[in-house]
Chains A and B, each alone.
Chain A
């Protein structure tokens, strides 16, 4: 597989996008307002679509172009707009109070996880000088940060956004690690559809109403 060098223009752009995506994941972790979660997630997805476009130019891949367009349309626009209208506005969600740790604690934990991501993925795993060696630690960190926000947030909507951030992290890794693989691209598209289905299931089954009002933290019947 051909891999991009970190110093080529596309490599620099991908690296930059990775950093922005990580920062937006941190922003989401540091926020307490449902509105902001959605905005940060949308912004992150737009940057991701840009990264996929960069990758498409570098690899001359039509599939990646389609993927970039889909990412922009579905994750950058459709999901944030739908989440805002159907969840945040309709359920009148404002401040997220259901957290198991304070913001500063979760930010420090996020920093530690980022360092951990570099520790795990950097040495010997990735050839030096390729863009993958720069972006994969970032994408691993995004996956960990998304998981962290799923753990510390107890509200179902916040958990959903956390999962979507994890998915963005995997996607970022996919376009830099294995950009030339055809099927993984399709799997990525599918993952997008899955995200849509997941959200629809939440809407249709009425889960949102029941669970959003009583946050997951208050549902304590199922224990042990």
Chain B
């Protein structure tokens, strides 16, 4: 099992290795996709072997994988696979049109692999200090992706991203310090004492005042990475300026990793402080994010920014679901995370294809997508419906679960407010994407940016894979996934 866990974290480095060895876009992309596929396979195998067994723990708690960690590993590995497949077509097209130099392409794949590998490693550690180290390292790796294109705009976005995220994560470290300090009574001398399972098991001995501060700092700190308002300001810029497959990684993998860290803190806080305090904190940040996300989606403009604000909104929904708590709330939150990751990966990948073909990121200049590029247009339309929570896709199910959780726990005002905001977000989002998809195709006809038909097929593959998974999750939750979700909830408490 330990070997599996190591393989999950290391296999995405295949793309980095290929790029460093001098492979061109196609070769490095294929290596990247193969590495991601191995990571996903190993993550699923890990989940299967974990079933009915105690969590995998080793190296003084530096390695720790329980069903919750395994679930996130699977999500992030799946997104990495989709984004790696999308990278092949996108980066090859950029290579052919000379928009990216050979050096930039090498840089892209090197940091893409490193970024994925660091996030997966962060999900596999039980040590909260190491968690901080890996999350901060993943910030640095992904900043290179955001600034890849080297325009003043992308450099500005990268600067904003790196400085705001680093500050946020440093605040999370302060939170981690206070968490350790709250455990003074436990005499945490060894490495094992700094691990999440140990602190959870001894939560009753933690000092409540210090823990309160620790939880708040952790939510603010890791919430910066998640994109919770008002710490979200880096997010739309970074998502808009990064190459589209990298945007998919940011939105669908990085945000989830940040949320994972918050969930670990939440479990400890919940065990010691009860539900009221964590609930208040999460509902406040969650609703702020939904409001900000929905309001900024009203503005028509850059479609990648639109998708980014939708991520802010969805992270808010997840925070609210965690705040509602209970079996339903947590189940909905985890399911929503998986569904949102898949839908957002498909959206950003199709937005990459649109940007390549129309040579613009402005929604106003894109029309007739469905007629001009049926596969991408169809994927964009379906993924938009999915992300907005329409049946028959997975997000409908998870959002319904979250609203039900809201009614089941406490005042009906919160779930009603949530529903109203979801309606606003629906109108704002659909207004823009409907305009892009419908209408007459552009004249003159678009030139395909891809070198041959194989590339077109490779570009379409992740879109179809992602949508198929979303559809399955909307109609039926596989028995194995249900078991994993239930075990994860039992871990959170």
Which A residues form the contact surface with B (CB < 8 A)?
A: 1, 3, 120-121, 124-126, 132, 140, 143, 147, 150, 156, 159-160, 163, 166-167, 170, 173-174, 177-178, 180-184, 186-187, 190-191, 194, 197-198, 201, 205-207, 210-211, 214, 216, 219, 221-222, 224
Which residues of A lie under 8 Å from residue B326 when comparing CB positions? none
**Complex alpha-carbon distance, A221 and B136, angstroms:** 27
Given contacts A163-B167, A180-B189, A194-B137, A211 and B156 within 8 Å (CB-CB): yes
Pair B194/A125 contact, Cβ less than 8 Å: no
Question: Could you say which of B70-78, B124-132, B405-413 contacts chain A?
Answer: B124-132
25 CB contacts below 8 A, A to B, read A1-B189, A3-B184, A125-B207, A125-B209, A125-B210, A132-B181, A156-B159, A163-B170, A166-B170, A170-B170, A170-B173, A173-B174, A181-B180, A181-B188, A182-B191, A184-B180, A186-B129, A191-B173, A201-B143, A201-B144, A206-B155, A207-B159, A210-B155, A221-B156, A224-B296
Q: Which of A1, A120, A183 contacts B187, CB < 8 Å?
A: A1
Pair B159/A187 contact, Cβ less than 8 Å: no
Which residues of A lie under 8 Å from residue B240 when comparing CB positions? 222
Which residues of B lie under 8 Å from residue A206 when comparing CB positions? 150, 155
Q: Does B442 contact A (CB under 8 A)?
A: no
Q: Which of A187, A207, A222 contacts B132, CB < 8 Å?
A: A187
Pair A183/B155 contact, Cβ less than 8 Å: no
**Complex alpha-carbon distance, A159 and B144, angstroms:** 19
**Complex alpha-carbon distance, A198 and B187, angstroms:** 35
* Closest Cβ–Cβ distance, residue B291 to chain A (whole Å): 15
Given contact pairs A181-B194, A184-B176, enumerate 16 new A-B contacts (beta carbons under 8 Å): A1-B187, A121-B213, A125-B209, A132-B181, A140-B174, A147-B167, A177-B178, A177-B180, A181-B193, A182-B191, A184-B180, A186-B129, A194-B140, A194-B166, A207-B147, A207-B159
Pair A178/B156 contact, Cβ less than 8 Å: no
* Closest Cβ–Cβ distance, residue A121 to chain B (whole Å): 8
Pair B166/A198 contact, Cβ less than 8 Å: yes
- B175-215: contact bitstring with A at CB < 8 Å (1 yes, 0 no)? 01110110010011111011000000000000101100100
Which residues of A lie under 8 Å from residue B133 when comparing CB positions? 186-187, 190
**Complex alpha-carbon distance, A121 and B210, angstroms:** 9
* Closest Cβ–Cβ distance, residue A182 to chain B (whole Å): 6
Given contacts A201-B143, A207-B147, A224 and B189 within 8 Å (CB-CB): no
**Complex alpha-carbon distance, A201 and B152, angstroms:** 15
Pair B188/A198 contact, Cβ less than 8 Å: no
Q: Does B160 contact A (CB under 8 A)?
A: yes
Considering only CB atoms, which chain B residue lies closest to A125 in the complex?
B209
Pair B170/A167 contact, Cβ less than 8 Å: yes
The 6 closest A-B pairs by CB, nearest first: A187-B129, A183-B129, A222-B237, A219-B156, A125-B209, A177-B181
Q: Does B162 contact A (CB under 8 A)?
A: yes
- B253-268: contact bitstring with A at CB < 8 Å (1 yes, 0 no)? 0000000000000000
By secondary structure, the A interface counts as helix
**Complex alpha-carbon distance, A183 and B177, angstroms:** 11
Given contacts A173-B174, A187-B129, A222-B237, A198 and B180 within 8 Å (CB-CB): no
Considering only CB atoms, which chain A residue lies closest to B147 in the complex?
A205
Which B residues form the contact surface with A (CB < 8 A)?
A: 127, 129-130, 132-133, 136-137, 140, 143-144, 147, 150, 152-153, 155-160, 162-163, 166-167, 170-171, 173-174, 176-178, 180-181, 184, 187-191, 193-194, 207, 209-210, 213, 236-237, 240-241, 296, 299, 301, 305
Which residues of B lie under 8 Å from residue A191 when comparing CB positions? 136, 170, 173
Given contacts A1-B189, A210-B152, A211-B155, A124 and B174 within 8 Å (CB-CB): no
Which residues of B lie under 8 Å from residue A210 when comparing CB positions? 152, 155
Pair A160/B163 contact, Cβ less than 8 Å: yes
* Closest Cβ–Cβ distance, residue A222 to chain B (whole Å): 4
**Complex alpha-carbon distance, A167 and B171, angstroms:** 9
Considering only CB atoms, which chain B residue lies closest to A127 in the complex?
B184
Considering only CB atoms, which chain A residue lies closest to B164 in the complex?
A150
Given contacts A125-B210, A180-B189, A207 and B173 within 8 Å (CB-CB): no
**Complex alpha-carbon distance, A159 and B140, angstroms:** 17
* Closest Cβ–Cβ distance, residue B324 to chain A (whole Å): 28
Pair B177/A207 contact, Cβ less than 8 Å: no
Which residues of A lie under 8 Å from residue B147 when comparing CB positions? 205, 207
**Complex alpha-carbon distance, A177 and B207, angstroms:** 14
**Complex alpha-carbon distance, A205 and B189, angstroms:** 42
**Complex alpha-carbon distance, A186 and B207, angstroms:** 25
Pair A184/B177 contact, Cβ less than 8 Å: yes
**Complex alpha-carbon distance, A170 and B221, angstroms:** 13
Pair B130/A183 contact, Cβ less than 8 Å: yes
Which residues of B lie under 8 Å from residue A121 when comparing CB positions? 213
**Complex alpha-carbon distance, A210 and B158, angstroms:** 13
* Closest Cβ–Cβ distance, residue A17 to chain B (whole Å): 18
